[in-house]
Amino acid sequence: EGAGGRAWGHLAAGAVIVHGDLGTDALRRLRAAAEERGGFLQLEHAPAALRREFAPAEPGDGDLVRALRDRFDLKRTINRGRWGAGL
């Protein structure tokens, strides 16, 4: 609520889902709070401008995404033009 969004917990997924018009500062604060508690923050849906300013996933996730794409998406057709486009 302090970040300006609506949130609820998804017990089965072990996740807290946040919806709202959050900017990069609020997202950085939420990511820091999650990391302090041993968690992480990922963007599932966000405007392109926000994805360019705020990494949708953790820095180390690029290696995993690259390996998965090398194995299952050789033509790079999945999520073309979205985050990870350079992977």
pLDDT in tens, 32-82: 888 898 888 877 778 878 877 777 666 677 788 788 888 998 888 877 666
> Which pLDDT value is given to residue 77?
84
Q: What is the pLDDT of residue 36?
A: 92
27: CB partners within 8 A, 6+ apart: 3, 41, 43, 50, 54
Q: How many Å separate Cα 38 from the centre of its chain?
A: 16
Q: How far is residue 50's CA from residue 14's CA, in Å, rounded to a whole number?
A: 25
Q: Which residue has the higher pLDDT, 8 or 33?
A: 33
Q: Which residues contact 55 (CB under 8 A, 6 or more apart)?
A: 83
| Bigger pLDDT: 60 vs 11 | 11
pLDDT of residue 17: 78
- The model's pTM: 0.62
User: What is the distance in angstroms between the CA of the first residue and the CA of the last residue of the chain?
Assistant: 34
